[in-house]
C-alpha cells in the first residue's frame, strides 16, 4: 500500500512552524522591548524590595527577548508576548491603587514611557501574527538600504523616549546629581592642595 501524501498547505502548519517575521518589524519591536527593559531596570533601583524584584524580572525578560529577536528570525513566544508585555503596566496600576508605591518610588513618566514601548511590542506582534494568518506567502524582506534606514529611525525614536525616561528615575537622578555630574561651563571647581608648601 502506498502511504498517503502530506499536503504542505498553510492550513496544515502547526504553531511551531510559524513563518519568519519581517526583518524590519522584528528588529524595531526588539528595540522597543530593549528600551522598556532598560527603563524597568532603572525603576527597580528606586522601588521597594518586592516591587524591585518584580521589575527586575520584567526588565530581564524584555532584554532577553529583545536580544533573541535581533539574533533570530523567529522570536520566541510570539503569541504570548502581547499579553506578557502588559504585565508591567498592570503591576504599576496595582501598586498605585493598593498604596504600595508612590510617585517617588515608581516615577509616572518613566513607567508611562515603558508602558508605551511595551504596547508597541504587543500591538506589533499581534498585527504581525494576524497578517501571517491571512497571507500564505512568506513576509517580504526589505532591501539592505531600506532596512538600514528603518533601523536608524527606530533606534533614534526609542532613544528619544528612553533617555528622558531613564533620567526621571531615581537611578537617573542620582547619576545626574552624583560626583561625576557634568559641571556648567565656567563653573569653578575647588581642588584641595594635598601637598602644602610646594
Q: How many domains does the chain have?
A: 1
Q: Is residue 71 part of a domain?
A: yes
Judged by average pLDDT, the poorest of 111-115, 121-125, 146-150, 185-189 is: 185-189
Query: Residue 114 sits in which domain range?
Result: 18-137+144-173
pLDDT by residue (tens digit) across 159-189? 999 998 888 887 788 777 765 555 454 445 4
pLDDT by residue (tens digit) across 27-86? 889 999 999 999 999 998 888 788 889 899 999 999 999 998 888 877 777 788 888 888
And the C-alpha cell for 117?
A: 514601548
Q: Is residue 42 part of a domain?
A: yes
C-alpha pair distances (Å), 23 with each of 28, 126, 137, 177: 9, 16, 15, 40
Q: Is residue 168 part of a domain?
A: yes
And the C-alpha cell for 55?
A: 521589575
Amino acid at each position: 500500500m502506498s502511504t498517503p501524501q502530506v499536503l504542505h498547505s498553510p492550513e496544515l502548519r502547526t504553531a511551531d512552524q510559524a513563518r519568519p517575521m519581517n526583518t524590519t518589524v522584528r528588529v524595531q519591536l526588539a528595540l522597543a522591548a530593549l528600551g522598556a527593559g532598560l527603563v524597568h531596570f532603572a525603576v527597580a533601583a528606586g522601588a521597594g524590595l518586592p516591587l524591585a524584584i518584580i521589575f527586575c524580572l520584567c526588565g530581564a525578560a524584555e532584554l532577553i527577548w529583545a536580544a533573541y529577536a535581533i539574533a533570530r528570525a523567529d522570536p520566541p513566544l510570539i503569541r504570548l508576548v502581547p499579553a506578557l508585555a502588559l504585565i508591567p503596566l498592570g503591576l504599576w496600576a496595582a501598586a498605585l491603587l493598593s498604596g504600595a508605591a508612590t510617585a517617588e518610588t515608581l516615577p509616572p513618566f518613566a513607567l508611562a514611557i515603558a508602558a508605551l514601548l511595551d504596547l508597541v511590542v504587543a500591538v506589533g506582534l499581534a498585527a504581525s501574527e494576524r497578517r501571517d494568518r491571512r497571507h500564505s506567502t512568506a513576509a517580504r524582506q526589505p532591501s539592505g538600504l531600506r532596512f538600514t534606514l528603518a533601523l536608524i529611525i527606530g533606534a533614534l525614536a526609542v532613544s528619544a523616549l528612553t533617555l528622558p525616561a531613564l533620567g526621571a528615575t531615581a537611578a537617573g537622578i542620582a547619576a545626574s546629581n552624583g560626583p561625576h555630574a557634568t559641571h556648567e561651563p565656567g563653573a569653578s571647581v575647588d581642588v584641595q592642595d594635598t601637598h602644602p608648601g610646594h
